[in-house]
Amino acid sequence: MIKVTFKTFFKLFSTYFWVGVSLILFSIVLENYLENPDFSSRVIISLVESIGIAVLVASIFTFASGTSEFVEKIKLLLQDIVVSRNFLGNIDSQSKKDALNSLIKPSNEEKQIYSNIEDYLNTYIKQTMDITAKCVRSN
């Protein structure tokens, strides 16, 4: 019973995960084995540890990106943003104001041609965002 669980646990992640764990453990053992390592030994130990961490993190992200739940969640998020355009409808009003400001922000050339355009656009954004505070009826 324990062998099946242990074997299943090892199959859960790719071999790169275990390579990363092994490199990290190897660098820890090597660091403890050498009592007073010189500079080059410390550099090698740190390099092995960094490579181990990088391999470990990369294998976890590869595993996560390969799962169907992750792919489905990303697909739904992209559909919301690109197809349905629900993304801007679900953010708070200050973030909407910031998004509007960044979308219609005048360029430097426009600021030189129209000296007061930035104030006008800021007033327009403020009036547009204040509509929700008023009673608005449509026919």
Residue pLDDT, tens place only, 48-82 = 999 999 988 888 777 776 677 767 777 877 777 66
Low-confidence ranges of the chain (pLDDT < 70): 1-14, 65-66, 70, 81-89, 136-139
Query: Hey, how many other C-beta atoms are within 10 angstroms of the C-beta on 19?
Result: 15
Q: Which of 11, 8, 47 is nearest to 27 (CA)?
A: 47
CB 99, CB 88: distance < 8 Å: yes
pTM score, two decimals? 0.43
